Structure 1
Amino acid sequence: MIRAILFHVIPLLLPFVVYAVYLYFNARAGGDKKWGRTSLAISTVTGLVLMAASLIALGLVSGEPSEGTVYVPPRFEDGRIIDSQVLPAENKE
């Protein structure tokens, strides 16, 4: 669950939070900037790009190690279907 929050929600919402903090400090300094359609569109696109980058990074660094393992595909043996397996190289069937 934490991984889903880290890699989906936080990168998507981060530009909105950063812009809201900017607007807060801008208002305290006497500025007159407000949320607009352009700022919402830019924040949305930036959030989607960040989310896509985080998902690509997650796909590159996670998963089964391919070195030293052998994939055994599903097979039909003695009237039963044997599921696929990823076995260490020395235990190859």
Structure 2
Amino acid sequence: MIRVVIENILLLLLPTLFYVAYIFLTVGSKGAKQKINDAPFMWLFVAGVVLAIAVLAIFGSTSGGRPGEAYQPPVFEGGKIVPGHIKRDEQSSGG
């Protein structure tokens, strides 16, 4: 649960972090304080909210599998890694 909260907070702060990094890289540390004081924090927050909503909508609209299907995680077999995949339930396949 804490991972989800941290990820969403990071999405909200990402535009601000990029802006601050850009200011420090272009202006330098001497002039950065005044630039950061004049930063458009409201617009950076709005951009973070839009980014968070977009990411949540994209991940919410993609489906993992159908009911009756189970995720088979990657396994190490015979010296090779077999990638993860969605495995159909044998009983529900009807065949």
**TM-score for the superposition, normalised by structure 2:** 0.54
For 1:43 and 1:59, the matched residues in 2 are separated by: 24
Contact 1:12 1:48 in 2 (8 A): yes
Structure (1 or 2) with the larger CA radius of gyration: 1
Pairing 1:53–2:42 present: no
The 3 A distance-change label for structure 1 pair 23 and 40 is same
Pairing 1:44–2:23 present: no
Q: CA deviation at 1:3?
A: 4.1
Greater RCO structure (CA 8 Å; 6+ sep): 1
2:71 maps to none
For 1:20 and 1:29, the matched residues in 2 are separated by: 11
Bigger Cα displacement from structure 2, 24-33 vs 47-56? 24-33
For 2:35 and 2:5, the matched residues in 1 are separated by: 33
1:19 maps to 19
**TM-score for the superposition, normalised by structure 1:** 0.55
What amino acid maps onto 2:58 in structure 1? A
State the number of aligned residues.
70
Q: Which blocks of at least 5 consecutive residues in structure 1 are unaligned? A: 70-86
Pairing 1:35–2:34 present: no
For 2:61 and 2:20, the matched residues in 1 are separated by: 32
Identical amino acids, percent of aligned pairs: 27
Q: CA deviation at 1:26?
A: 3.1
The 3 A distance-change label for structure 1 pair 29 and 9 is closer
